[in-house]
Amino acid sequence: MTRRPTIIDVARLAGVSKATAARVLNGDSTLVRPATCERVLQAATQLGYERNAVAGSLRTDQTHIVALSIPDITNPFWPEVARGVQDSLERLGYAALTVNTDWNADREQHYLRLVRRSRFDGLIINPAHVSNDALKSLHIPVVILGSGRYYPDFDSVGSATQDAVVESLTHLYELGHRRIGLCAGHSRHNTERSRYDGYITFHARHGLPLEEDLIIETEFSELAGYDAMLRLMQTPRPPSAVFAANDILAIGALRAAQSLGCDVPGDVSIMGMDDIYAASITSPALTTVAKPKYDIGQRAAELLIARLTGQTSPPQHLQLPCRLVRRGSTAAYTATP
């Protein structure tokens, strides 16, 4: 294997000292003649030399690398968030390293140790189990992806999920549905249940009875959505509509309804949340709530950059609005003859 060129190789080819070569390649050429600078830069290009960022970080205490920690890399929601983060960071010369925790506490701790050990400049994270105090112990700027309710010392960017749930249920209510099932994913924080809370708020607002057998909390997966829908449709009085906590659950619910011979939306309306690409190509296409995925990532990166550049204002907790997307999986309620 060919040896990687070093700054000594550049200095030798350019006919200058190592100190002079280092000064030019580090961007400090005020005391170096232009012709000498040109020789050094040409030598570096000819050899394919790249500055050692790790060594440089020991002098500047900056790596220009930010970690992005997400909980489920298989969920199509997260790539758009990651793209928003990456685009914003790259414009200012930062790189993002994406890690996947799988909602696992041990993996999350492993990556936090990596962040500390590798001297990353900052962290953007959708937390699975880590606490506010544990993040403070990193001693670097951190931005939370989500509500930030349990992370008061950090900026956070999320979506107005509870409002979106109420808007979704209102859409079904205006179509005439009164018995609406909820397929809710298990919350990773026991007291943070925005979908469930929105469902309760909606029923109280409209004076609708709360039927516990129409509420199923399960994992965030297509199979879990499938199983939850089977359970809902096998109750003595099945719901006329089902709201799923995300599109993956809703797609599973759609498959289950169709496997039972139900017409969607003729027999049962189904809607989800997130507006992942797959929601637009199911048959029928899913009515859903579009979360501003790219914007969430972009705003999170902007908040982190502000902290990295010295901003000292109190933490901001942003909740970006969602948007109802009407498609073919919901329709007006028709009473069973």
Asked whether residue 238 carries a pLDDT value surpassing 90, the answer given is yes
Nearest to 276 by CA among 101, 80, 99, 145: 80
Res. 58 pLDDT band, cuts 50 70 90: very low
- What is the structure's pLDDT at 2? 58
- The answer to whether the CB of 109 falls within 8 A of the CB of 130 is yes
pLDDT of residue 52: 60
**Average pLDDT estimate for 289-310:** 95
* pLDDT higher at 185 or 162: 162
Average pLDDT over residues 306-310: 90
Look at residue 96 and give its three-state secondary structure.
strand
Tell me what pLDDT residue 62 has.
67
Q: pLDDT value at position 57?
A: 47
Beta bridge partners of 318: 157
Instruction: Please report how many Cα atoms fall inside a 13 Å half-sphere around the Cα of residue 158, on the Cβ side.
Output: 20
Contact 132, 152 (CB under 8 A): yes
Edge-to-edge strands of the sheet including 122-125?
Answer: 95-100, 65-70, 122-125, 142-145, 155-159, 317-320
**Greater confidence, 239 or 43?**
239
pLDDT bin (cut points 50, 70, 90) of residue 28 is confident
pTM: 0.79
Looking at residue 268, its amino acid is: V
115-164 pLDDT tens trace: 888 888 999 999 988 999 999 988 999 999 998 889 999 999 999 988 99
User: Residue 200 contacts by C-beta under 8 Å, 6 or more apart in sequence?
Assistant: 210
Domains of the chain, CATH where assigned: 7-51 (no CATH), 60-159+293-321 (3.40.50.2300), 161-291 (3.40.50.2300)
pLDDT at 235 over 50: yes
Specify the pLDDT at position 187.
Answer: 60
Residue 19 CA neighbour count, 13 Å, CB half: 2
DSSP 277: G
